[in-house]
Amino acid sequence: MRDVAIIGVGETPFGELWDYSFRDLGIEAGLKAIQDAKVTAEEIDAVYVGNMSAGKFIDQEHVSALVADYAGLADMHLPTVRVEGGGACGAVALLQARMAIASGMYDVVVVGGAEKMTDVGEVQAAEILSSTADQEWESVFGATFAGLYAMMARRHMHEFGTTREHMGAVAVKNHKNGALNPVAQFQKEITLETVLQSPWVAEPLGLFDCAPLSDGAAAIVLCAMDAARRYTDAPIRIAGSGQASDFLALHDRRDLTTMDATVVAGKRAFAEAKVEPRDIQVAEVHDNFTITEILAIEDLKFVEKGKGGPATVDGVTALNGKVSVNTSGGLKARGQPVGATGVAQAVEIVRQLRGEAGKRQVVGARRGLTHTLGGTGATAVVHIFERGA
Amino acid sequence: MSAGIVTYGGYVPRYRIRPKEIGAVWGADGEAMGRGLNIKAKSVPGPDEDVITISVEAARAAMARVDLDPTDIGAIYVGSESHPYAVKPTATVVAEAIGAAPVMTAADFEFACKAGTAAMQTCMGLTLSKMYKYGMAIGSDTSQGAPGDALEYSASAGGAAFVIGTDRMIATIDHTVSYTTDTPDFWRREGQRYPSHGGRFTGEPAYFKHVVSCAQLLFKRAGTTAEDYEYAVFHQPNGKFPVRAGKQLGFKDGQMDTGLLVRDIGNTYSGAIMLGLCAILDEAEAGDRIFAMGYGSGAGSDGFDLTVTDEIRKIRRDVRSIRDMVKDSAFIDYATYAKYRGKIAMKEAAV
């Protein structure tokens, strides 16, 4: 299996982008990544696109061909693939693209992730998001996405004494990081009081415990490691990847306070990369709700089970803490265009490992990790990245 | 030669409901909602009030200020998004009520919240071209907000009427300019009872883009800046948007306070900026300049640069002022509101 490197990254601003259509988002992120990688259209072998639900959000399916078309690649007749895996689709697309190069079938692949969520009303958007849970057993009975995560939060509070203040600390930290990210949806710091006083979405999760609905796209250019130096002096190697699935519905899971898919995906990625959690300096983890980040840092073994809340309050995951988590602002502050998430997380890690993260740069970042979830954790993907030798 | 306002009149129903009362029904923090919108109460039309009665009240109030032969009014246009009839004009009832019929023309206008200012511009053209001596432009609404929707906290009722002409003007309209695009921020399809809206999309790309762009055009045409005006009034869907837009354009609170009625009566839609302008004319003096900037969803802005003339001293100013109507309030609970607004399913009358 060949080593694979990231040689170019690009992203759009994230937010309520009234002036961007889905295709505008795809074009901007894709062209930025291609320009960053300095590859020509002739060199690109395939395009992979992570997208959760363009069919429901904008009535457009077949977005893989659309993105390649509007990126000016239609007459190259490239193979294009749209990957769907709930909120993890961008990360799954990255894994599929990596495998395509690793296998020797392709040499240069563009991976994009995009979602245009604000063309529908908020209620409709929430329903579309809930469609990644179990429709027959959960959504149809009225369980919303926030409601399902609220159950996990409740159980975590019961088992480990996690408090709303602990969860609020995640939001405060991620907004603080988002304030340093010029493409973040929310570039404004918030106080713990703001989180605690925000109206309930699903108790114990308030409005500020939840990531927003967003428009946005991100893209990455991958190539075989042995060719990477032709394009860049700073290739970022994908050292390990792990993907895992779990019961779709929450009630079938072994434990509400541990996402087994995250645990397994993490183990697989760490094993392939031959590193331990302590070897990671910077991580982008799925924080669609504040409780999700607490579960993630526990399940990825950055902190002991049950200690995610206090660790966050203690600054373990703060910028330049023991492991800097969600330096981009995370889904909470950078924004949550679902299909873009996994790719945007990787873009942030690449910037950190290249030393291009500006005011939010993690000092001495050599190795980074992304963790992306689909649904309520029925899909989890972990990638580990490191600076090329 | 310029056209301008010959007389004006407004009407605000006296019933009011507070955001807290609305929120309590829907399990929402109505007080916080009211603070967010900068609205303390909204006006509610009584059970016998609709856009026709409100328009007639406003038209009669306008005629009561002056000795004007109603048959000199050659055109009446009523702008509203809540005309009682889909087919059959409001304007003909107004015409009969003030004695302007039958040798005249009449029609109803619709352009969300700016249909009344569009009617003002139409009357300017008709009178400047000498087609008619005077024209009457009315903006009036009993606006709809779906129960439980954010709109329910602001959608209120009221209306205003302006007689437009080229003589006896109490305020000349020295410049007018419009800015119009196809922007779907707020809409209601035929047969639908309540409108839909694009949430935050109604802000930056809709209200602010049109209001600010049109205002800048008006400044350019008139060769003015915010400092040249004693008063400024904007379409006021809530108490925050007009203040933010005004400040962005250089206006100060003191210039905007008089016309900012939304805090006390909510968003009267087509009536909003016109009632605000009436409140300003209630206290303005000769020589005062007024900056008026309407907005209608869909979307567009109509801007007016006005100068109050000496004629303002000749009209009756001892009649009921807009401020009097705003103050004259009777607060009701949600159940009464639901009854007045026809939200309770009743036994159908035998036909």
State the residue range of the domain holding B212: 171-311
Please give the pLDDT value at position B1. Answer: 79
Interface test with A, best of B187, B201, B208, B209 (most A CBs within 10 A): B201
Q: Tokens 């693209």 label which residue? A: A97
For residues B179 and B165, membership in a common domain is answered with no
Q: Where are the domains of chain A?
A: 4-121+214-228, 134-209+239-387
pLDDT at B349 over 80: no
B72 and B132 assigned to the same domain: yes
Residues B219 and B236 placed together within one structural domain of the fold: yes
Q: Write the DSSP assignment of B197-251 as a string of letters.
A: E-GGGGIIIIIIHHHHHHHHHHHHHHT--GGG-SEEEE--SSSSHHHHHHHHTT-
| CATH number of the domain encompassing residue B306 | 3.40.47.10
Nearest to B248 by CA among B201, B280, B293: B293
Mark whether B186 and B151 lie in a shared domain.
no
Q: Do domains A4-121+214-228 and A134-209+239-387 have the same CATH topology?
A: yes
Is residue B347 one of the residues assigned to a domain? Answer: no
Residue B351 falls within a domain, yes or no?
Answer: no
Instruction: Tell me if the domain spanning A4-121+214-228 has CATH number 3.40.190.290.
Output: no
- Distance, in Å, from the CA atom of A209 to the CA atom of A169, rounded to the nearest integer, reads 10
Whether B333 maps to a domain, the answer reads yes
Q: What is the DSSP letter of A119?
A: T
Test B199 with A19 for CB contact under 8 angstroms: no
Tell me: pLDDT of A388 over 80: no
pLDDT, averaged across chain B: 96
Nearest alpha carbon to residue B197 among B157, B239, B237: B237
Q: Say whether both B16 and B158 belong to one domain.
A: yes
Does the annotation mark B83 as catalytic? no
A150 to chain B, closest Cα gap in Å: 20
A123 touches chain B (CB under 8 A): no
Considering the four listed CATH numbers 3.40.47.10, 1.10.1200.10, 3.20.20.10, 1.10.10.10, the one that applies to the domain covering A134-209+239-387 is 3.40.47.10
Tokens found for residue B126: 């008709």
Say yes or no: B131 and B175 in one domain. Answer: no
The answer to whether residues B260 and B158 belong to one domain is: no
Question: Model confidence over A309-328: pLDDT tens digits?
Answer: 999 999 999 999 999 999 99
ipTM above 0.85, yes or no: no
pLDDT of amino acid A315:
98
Q: Within this chain, do residues B303 and B334 fall inside the same structural domain, yes or no?
A: no
Same domain, B249 and B304: yes
Binning chain A into helix, strand and coil, the percentages to the nearest 5 are: 45, 20, 35
* B348 occurs within a structural domain: no
- Rounded to the nearest angstrom, the gap between the alpha carbon of residue A5 and the centroid of all alpha carbons in its chain is 18
How many domains in chain B? 2
| Interchain proximity B201–A118, CB inside 8 Å | yes
From B29, B32, B201, residue closest to A18, measured CB to CB: B201
Q: What is the pTM of this model?
A: 0.86
CA angle (B339 as vertex; B336, B343 as ends), nearest 5: 130
Closest by CA to B333, choosing from B49, B44, B34, is B44
* Residue B346 located in a structural domain: no
pLDDT single digits (tens) A152-201: 999 999 999 999 999 999 999 999 999 999 999 999 999 999 999 999 99
Q: How confident is the model at residue A389 (pLDDT cuts 50, 70, 90)?
A: low
Task: Check residue B48 and give its pLDDT.
Answer: 95
Name the strands in the sheet holding B231-234, side by side, starting at the edge strand that comes first in the sequence: B105-109, B73-79, B134-142, B157-165, B4-11, B171-183, B298-308, B289-293, B231-234
Are A122 and B199 a contacting pair at CB < 8 A? yes
In a domain, B178, yes or no: yes
Q: What are the tens digits of pLDDT across the range B252-277?
A: 999 999 999 999 999 999 999 999 99
- Distance of alpha carbon B59 from alpha carbon B6, whole angstroms: 12
**Cα A291-A14-A86 angle, rounded to 5 deg:** 55
Residue B241 has pLDDT above 80, yes or no: yes
Please list every residue in chain B whose beta carbon sits closer than 8 Å to the beta carbon of residue A121. Answer: 196, 198-199
Tell how strand B4-11 and strand B196-197 pair up.
unpaired
Question: Which residue type, as a one-letter code, is found at position B347?
Answer: K
| Residue B26 contacts residue B251 (beta carbons within 8 Å) | no
Q: Is B210 part of the annotated catalytic residue set? A: no
| Beta strands B298-308 and B4-11, pairing class | unpaired
CA distance A339 to A53: 8
Residue type, B177: V
Asked if residues A63 and A49 have their Cβ atoms less than 8 Å apart, the reply is yes
Q: Choose among B128, B132, B300, B304: nearest CA to B209.
A: B300
B29 — contact with chain A (CB < 8 Å)?
A: yes
Residue B139 lies in a domain: yes
